[in-house]
Chains A and B, each alone.
Chain A
């Protein structure tokens, strides 16, 4: 589902990859939910989300003009200032998280190379938006019903010599295979992680993921220390 939100006042600066923390219309559900900031301008934010439970189902039924409270922007975002040729590796709804960085990168004169995987043709999303900012967009489907049959990581690896960095967002399996495939590569790789959240602002320690820090493994807050982490620091189970 796509949500277009208009702010009551001008929004602060939003770094690509920061997220939106939005309440849902069903008031028996007290927590806000984190959503990607797909696109934005001074007064508006667009997000895409899958409908996975009661909260997102209530959002899907919201009427135009409804007012919802939100906190944004949260998290650290992607820092692509140092890179020129950037690969984007995404799967499913995770691709939505990558769009703002692709758009900002293209606007800053960087070369964007997108490699996305979806289950099948009817699950393909965001292709035209990415094509409008990317030098190359490769769509893969698991069943081959559209684009290339197979996984996007294989397509990205063919071009890896041309890339300075890779940004990643997708399901567990995609992140895990990326961790494996890039283990022996030098290329800087960053992954946007997701975790169930409560406060969203770093106070409650609910949204942690295991991250390597030197010789130790620490539980870092996805909402505050992330959601973007160095791929090689993530401990992927």
Chain B
């Protein structure tokens, strides 16, 4: 039975990748299980300079989900490469470095640095809604998506995945724009902008006021958007949004994803990665599906 998938020329041993912002640089969860079982790891977003992120509180829980406003707290690309590079390489899984920035120049700086490293792929974060100074500006309008993709692509020697925001008018238009800009693959969806209120104090729970919604409650939105993007482009799609079970993985792949990412589930099940690899293997075996690739984009009309 084959679980291997190929994204833009990079082979992953299975479709399961851990999502940026939920897995640090792998150190913490490596204490729960051997991370080499994963198809890949997407690192926390790195920026040109070290960032402290947003003030606390940075989380509010909702029914079947969470709102986060962490912001891009990270050590900066140079410290990241110096201190985490060796460790990530030792994990024996595909390493996707997520990059972010406030200006086009910043993105290029980071892309240049990561291109010179051992990273397998780069994921371009143009959609994080938590940073006021930038990020969100790039990922909203299709023209902007195309422009930043094109610019970063010219600085990026690794296969480039563009991570799309769902907080847009048309996910299909943005998907096409990223493809036109030269993206080698797409990943979606990032978090949905939301809010939580403490009625007793009459204040927002998040210090940042708004945050990004993730977890099981966003799965229907994510599925719809993966399907729309799949119809719009030819490049491979990595789907994410509330995935917590092997059945969820199947749904995203049927909708058009060639691989998936798991994020919020890691918080309530630290062994989600290894559990899902095993559960997906069992599901395919019991369904007599010999090759996971045969599932991709097989949604049939009613």
Contact = CB atoms under 8 A, between A and B. Distances in A.
B64 to A, nearest CB: 6
A197 B266 contact: no
A55 B59 CA distance: 15
Interface stretch (A29-37, A113-121, A183-191): A29-37
B56 A209 contact: yes
Contact of A196 (B22, B56, B65, B216): B56
B70 interface: yes
Contact of A203 (B29, B55, B56, B215): B29
A195 B57 contact: yes
Contacts, number: 85
B28 A30 contact: no
A199 B52 contact: no
A196 B215 contact: no
B59 A199 contact: no
A198 interface: yes
B33 interface: no
A43 B21 CA distance: 34
B66 A203 contact: no
B21 to A, nearest CB: 7
Given A204-B22, A208-B58, A219-B53, A199 B65 contact: no
Given A196-B58, A199-B267, A205 B70 contact: yes
Contact of B24 (A31, A197, A203): A203
Interface in A167-224: 195-210, 217-219, 224
A23 interface: yes
B267 A31 contact: yes
Contacts of B216: 30
A122 interface: no
Most B-side CB within 10 Å, residue of A197, A202, A207, A219:
A219
Contacts of A217: 52
A204 B64 contact: no
B252 interface: no
A68 interface: no
B170 to A, nearest CB: 30
B61 interface: yes
Nearest 10 interchain pairs by C-beta? A203-B28, A203-B24, A206-B59, A28-B63, A199-B267, A198-B267, A202-B28, A30-B268, A206-B58, A201-B28
Interface of A: 23, 28-32, 55, 71, 195-210, 217-219, 224
14 contacts: A30-B216, A32-B268, A196-B58, A196-B60, A201-B28, A201-B29, A201-B31, A202-B27, A203-B24, A204-B22, A206-B59, A207-B58, A208-B53, A208-B56
